[in-house]
Amino acid sequence: AQSVTQPDIHITVSEGASLELRCNYSYGATPYLFWYVQSPGQGLQLLLKYFSGDTLVQGIKGFEAEFKRSQSSFNLRKPSVHWSDAAEYFCAVGPSNDYKLSFGAGTTVTVRA
């Protein structure tokens, strides 16, 4: 069975500082991996995805993520955060035979001035 762990429930970072969100997955084959962002009261927006090829993936809003098979990780990074990056971030892995995604519990990011 596939599963995702996001070890950090909440992260606080200063504006302009770097950000890294951790994601560890469990999946029996080469995974499809995703990062989504959710602003308060909104739906989820896709930040980036990994299917194959280059293990460093660039996404929208200046985010990137690196797939490390040996560590079963897909951590999300941003070199310099903006106040607008305050949101909840979800890592997801798939697909299962039923084309379902498994989501992590999410990491809430607070940006302080």
Contacts with other proteins, residue ranges (CB under 8 A): 32, 34, 36, 41-46, 49, 51, 90, 92, 94-95, 98-101, 103-106
Minimum gap (Å) between residue 71 Cβ and other proteins: 22
Closest to other proteins by CB, 19 or 94: 94
Question: What's the closest the beta carbon of residue 80 comes to other proteins, in angstroms?
Answer: 27
Looking at beta carbons only, is 77 or 103 nearer to other proteins? 103
What 8-state DSSP symbol labels residue 40? Answer: T
